Amino acid sequence: MRFIIITGLSGAGKSQAVKFLEDLGYFCVDNLPPALILKFAEICSQSRGSIDKIAIVTDIRGGMFFDQLQSSLDELQEEGFNYDILFLEASDETLIKRFKTSRRMHPLAVDGRILDGIDAERMKLEEIKEKATYIIDTTNMSTAQLKQEIIHLFIEGGKTEKLIIHVISFGFKYGLPLDADLVFDVRFLPNPYYIESLKKLSGNDKKVREYVMKWPEASVFLEKLINMVDYLIPFYIKEGKTQLVIAIGCTGGRHRSVTIANYLNEALKEKDHRVIMDNRDIDEEANKKIKGKQI
Measured distance CA(134)–CA(14) in Å, rounded: 13
Domain limit, last residue, from 154, 172, 207: 154
Domain limit, last residue, from 105, 126, 154: 154
The pLDDT of residue 158 is 54
User: Do residues 136 and 66 share a domain?
Assistant: yes
The pLDDT of residue 287 is 52
The pLDDT of residue 221 is 97
User: Do residues 12 and 139 share a domain?
Assistant: yes
User: Do residues 242 and 189 share a domain?
Assistant: yes
- Whether 272 is covered by a domain: the verdict is yes
Query: Which positions of the chain have pLDDT values less than 70?
Result: 156-162, 285-295
Strands 2-8 and 27-29, how do they pair? unpaired
Measured distance CA(5)–CA(65) in Å, rounded: 16
Give pTM, 2 decimals.
0.67
In degrees and rounded to multiples of 5, residue 240 shows phi and psi of 85, 15
User: Do residues 10 and 150 share a domain?
Assistant: yes
- Whether 72 is covered by a domain: the verdict is yes
CA atoms within 13 A on the CB side of 120: 14
- Whether 92 is covered by a domain: the verdict is yes
Number of structural domains found in the chain: 2
Domain limit, last residue, from 154, 182, 200: 154
User: Do residues 209 and 272 share a domain?
Assistant: yes
- Whether 228 is covered by a domain: the verdict is yes
User: Do residues 101 and 188 share a domain?
Assistant: no
User: Do residues 172 and 140 share a domain?
Assistant: no
End-to-end CA distance of the chain: 55
The pLDDT of residue 289 is 45
User: Do residues 137 and 222 share a domain?
Assistant: no
Helix (H), strand (E) at residue 26: none
User: Do residues 42 and 120 share a domain?
Assistant: yes
* CATH number of the domain enclosing 113: 3.40.50.300
User: Do residues 234 and 176 share a domain?
Assistant: yes
- Whether 70 is covered by a domain: the verdict is yes
- Whether 132 is covered by a domain: the verdict is yes
User: Do residues 35 and 139 share a domain?
Assistant: yes
- Whether 159 is covered by a domain: the verdict is no
- Whether 141 is covered by a domain: the verdict is yes
The pLDDT of residue 159 is 53
Smallest Cα–Cα separation from 136: which of 234, 243, 235? Answer: 243
User: Do residues 27 and 140 share a domain?
Assistant: yes
CA-CA distances (angstroms) from residue 254 to 123, 142, 179, 280? 39, 20, 20, 9
**Structural domain boundaries, residue 25:** 2-154
